[in-house]
């Protein structure tokens, strides 16, 4: 006959239990069906014939129940019930399946289900969030690939040198018509030479243009240009003298009109330079008139 008290006395207190972890303050249980993770009489899945717990498998929660009627059948010892993804409906399902069970087991199952749903939500958020991916460095493979690249580069340089040498000999007609050399390689070499010569000529032209832009030259003016400038200066001086004479006449007229009157209000007029004009008159000598 199965007795829970006898099992607990032998496992919990006296003898060895492979699931028990002892610490200085408290004992813990590593059994996957444990409801709280503590090693005590009410939470031990081995010392309780009527037991229930919540487990998570591949993102879904299941309710596991054990009854004393199935103790003789280890294959069908635990009954598994899939819980809903909705949190409220899952709590209702736990209440329905554990309606006549002890209140401690029912409360601890709800508490465990709440914790599991919380860490599932956190897992989903972390997977959707952008994270850094740590990629291991394979030193051996990197060294191998580096050696292969160096060997391939040396081989390519050797092939290019051989090709250039053969093309030079073909141009010089060293071997004549001994073998049929592929003509497309010869055409390719000619095109490369033409492209190089064109690029060199373009560079030389650009350099010449830059040199021409930097140079400065001074050119002597022609006599005709100088005479034109002198005529222009004469015309300008004569026109200025005429304008000055006209302004003097206007000043005298305005001065005579404005005598005895108050000065007009307004901005002061700009003073013009004063110019004196002298007139010479020729007169006949008086001795000639007397003699007549």
Q: Please state, in angstroms and rounded to a whole number, the distance separating the CA atoms of residues 170 and 173.
A: 5
Helices 139-172, 183-214: inter-axial angle, 10-degree rounding = 90
Q: Is the pTM of this model over 0.95?
A: no
Widest Cα–Cα separation across the chain: 190
Q: Is 22 helix (H, G, I), strand (E, B) or coil?
A: strand
Least confident range of 23-32, 33-42, 126-135, 251-260: 251-260
Tens-place pLDDT, residues 155-183: 888 888 887 787 777 777 776 665 555 66
pLDDT at 267 over 70: no
In which band, very low, low, confident or very high, does the pLDDT at 290 lie, cut at 50, 70 and 90? very low
Tens-place pLDDT, residues 208-248: 666 655 555 555 545 555 555 556 555 556 566 667 777 77
- 12 touches 38 (CB < 8 A): no
The token pair that represents 72 in the structure block: 């003789």
Q: What is the pLDDT of residue 121?
A: 93
Pick from 136-140, 190-194, 202-206 the range whose average pLDDT is largest. Answer: 136-140
Pairs from 130-135 (Cβ < 8 Å, separation ≥ 24):
none
Segment 263-274 shows an average pLDDT of 58
In which band, very low, low, confident or very high, does the pLDDT at 120 lie, cut at 50, 70 and 90? very high
Segment 109-116 shows an average pLDDT of 94
Tens-place pLDDT, residues 130-152: 888 888 888 899 999 999 999 99
> How many CB atoms lie under 10 A from the CB of residue 28?
14
Segment 21-49 shows an average pLDDT of 90
In which band, very low, low, confident or very high, does the pLDDT at 288 lie, cut at 50, 70 and 90? very low
User: Which comes out higher in pLDDT, residue 58 or 199?
Assistant: 58
In which band, very low, low, confident or very high, does the pLDDT at 255 lie, cut at 50, 70 and 90? low
> How many CB atoms lie under 10 A from the CB of residue 282?
4
Q: What is the pLDDT of residue 289?
A: 45
- 73 touches 27 (CB < 8 A): no
Tens-place pLDDT, residues 67-101: 888 888 888 899 999 999 999 999 999 999 999 89
Q: What percent of the chain has pLDDT over 70?
A: 69
In which band, very low, low, confident or very high, does the pLDDT at 108 lie, cut at 50, 70 and 90? very high
pLDDT at 192 over 80: no
Q: What is the pLDDT of residue 269?
A: 58
pLDDT at 259 over 90: no
Segment 12-28 shows an average pLDDT of 83
Burial class (CB in 10 A: 0-12, 13-18, 19+), 109: buried
Q: Residue 62: beta bridge partners?
A: 55, 82
> What's the mean per-residue pLDDT of the chain?
77
| Closest to 54 in 3D by CA, of 42, 65, 46 | 65
Q: Please state, in angstroms and rounded to a whole number, the distance separating the CA atoms of residues 67 and 53.
A: 12
DSSP 38-63: B-STTT-SSS-SSEEEEEEETTEEEE
């Amino acid at each position: 006959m199965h007795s829970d008290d006898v099992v607990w006395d032998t496992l919990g207190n006296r003898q060895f239990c492979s699931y028990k972890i002892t610490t200085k303050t408290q004992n813990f249980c590593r059994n996957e069906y444990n409801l709280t993770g503590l090693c005590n009489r009410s939470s031990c899945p081995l010392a309780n014939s009527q037991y229930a717990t919540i487990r998570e498998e591949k993102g879904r929660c299941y309710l596991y129940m054990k009854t004393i009627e199935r103790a003789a059948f280890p294959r069908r010892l635990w009954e598994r019930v899939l819980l809903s993804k909705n949190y409220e409906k899952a709590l209702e399902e736990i209440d329905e399946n554990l309606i006549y069970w002890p209140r401690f087991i029912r409360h601890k199952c709800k508490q465990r289900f709440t914790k599991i749903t919380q860490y599932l939500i956190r897992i989903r958020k972390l997977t959707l969030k952008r994270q850094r991916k740590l990629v291991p460095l394979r030193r051996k493979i990197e060294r191998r690939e580096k050696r292969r690249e160096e060997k391939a580069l040396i081989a390519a340089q050797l092939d290019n040198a051989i090709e250039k040498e053969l093309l030079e000999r073909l141009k010089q007609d060293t071997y004549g018509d001994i073998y049929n050399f592929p003509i497309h390689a010869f055409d390719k070499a000619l095109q490369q030479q033409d492209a190089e010569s064109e690029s060199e000529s373009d560079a030389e032209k650009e350099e010449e243009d830059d040199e021409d832009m930097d140079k400065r030259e001074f050119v002597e003016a022609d006599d005709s240009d100088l005479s034109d400038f002198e005529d222009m200066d004469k015309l300008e001086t004569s026109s200025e003298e005429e304008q000055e004479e006209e302004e003097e006449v206007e000043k005298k007229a305005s001065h005579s009109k404005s005598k005895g009157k108050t000065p007009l209000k307004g901005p002061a007029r700009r003073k013009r330079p004063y110019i004196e004009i002298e007139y010479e008159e020729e007169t006949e000598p008086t001795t000639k008139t007397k003699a007549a």
